[in-house]
Chains A and B, each alone.
Chain A
Amino acid sequence: MATKKLTLTILSFLILQDLLETFTHFCFKKSALVDGSFSLTDPSHIANFLKDALFTPYLWLGFLSVAVIFVIWSTVLSKIDLSVAVPVCSFSYITVPLISMIYLHEKISLVRWIGIALILCGIIFVSASSEEKKENPA
């Protein structure tokens, strides 16, 4: 088994995977918007909704993105722990607000900055915990 350290290459793949994940969510949300007026508890409405959603290109773009994510994700998982890979993927909670601030000129509230700082600290803690393993391999 290869080293379990979180390297810069693995980190950049995780970020790429994360950005694709954001894109996937966007696609799925778009495809879900085709029919927002159905009843959640009525099975025939659910079937109708799924049929409508299947005919939007966004759903298929979303699936394509999922396939790429799968290849990146399984390769990354063969190199690091699940309990490192999953938390580090929370990067999109930082990148999405920052991108909306820079490109969409959205204002980020103080509370949101605090949240972003907490996530960043968390990612640093988790990344540091993967480095320790390399120093004394069990």
Chain B
Amino acid sequence: MKLLIFALLFLTNIFDTARELVIKSAVNSLKTSPTNLKEVFSFIMRLMKVPQLWLGLLFSILALILWLLVLTKADLNYAFSLDSMHYIFTAIVAQKFLKEKIGWNRWCGIILITIGIAVVSLS
């Protein structure tokens, strides 16, 4: 049972990372950034027409179903401590697929956060 929950949590992390990747690439594809509420509205409308966004929604739904299943059985603290893995996954995919430049200080920060979350969740 413990192993099954771990596997489900791992899969949830993968879907979460995939969702963040496709949503960010959908946002990037618009090449603009809203500055007021009116622009935000048209920005969201345009964003809705990007196919990757809906792929992101699909990943969200899959992650949500898995997360709901995990929560019925696992302790919230345990679930959150493993959730911290997803910060590292996200940084890796952002560097690889979005060509974001991640310097040593950003890596340090991400690793500190991951360790910190594991400590907070399990204490």
A104 on interface, CB distance cutoff 8 Å: no
Residues of B in contact (CB 8 Å), total: 56
Task: Give which listed residue, B76, B101, B109, B123, contacts A112 with CB less than 8 A.
Answer: B123
Q: B30 — which chain A residues lie within 8 A by C-beta? A: 78
Give 14 new A-B contacts, CB below 8 A, not counting A25-B76, A122-B116. Answer: A32-B68, A38-B72, A75-B43, A81-B94, A83-B100, A83-B106, A86-B87, A86-B91, A87-B110, A115-B119, A118-B112, A119-B116, A125-B108, A132-B105
**Would you call A118 and B106 a contact (CB within 8 A)?**
no
Number of A-B contacts (CB under 8 A): 162
A138 at the interface (CB under 8 A from B): yes
Contact between chains at A74 and B72 (CB < 8 Å): no
- Residue A93 CB within 8 A of the other chain: yes
- Establish whether residues A93 and B120, one from each chain, have CB atoms under 8 Å apart when the complex forms: yes
Interface: A116 (CB within 8 A) = yes
Question: Which residues of chain A come closer than 8 Å to B100, judged between CB atoms?
Answer: 81-83
The B52-86 residues at the A interface (CB cut-off 8 A) are 60, 64-65, 67-69, 71-73, 76, 80
Q: A36-B72, A125-B106, A126-B110 are in contact. Are A82 and B24 (CB under 8 A)?
A: yes
- Taking the complex as formed, is B11 at the interface, i.e. its CB lies under 8 A from any CB of chain A? no
B113 and A29: CB pair below 8 A? no
Residues on the B chain within 8 Å of A97, using CB:
120
What 6 A-B pairs have minimum CB-CB distances, sorted nearest first? A125-B109, A118-B116, A115-B119, A122-B112, A122-B113, A119-B116
By the criterion CB–CB under 8 Å, are A122 and B103 in contact?
no
Instruction: Please tell me if the beta carbons of A32 and B98 are within 8 angstroms of each other in the complex.
Output: no
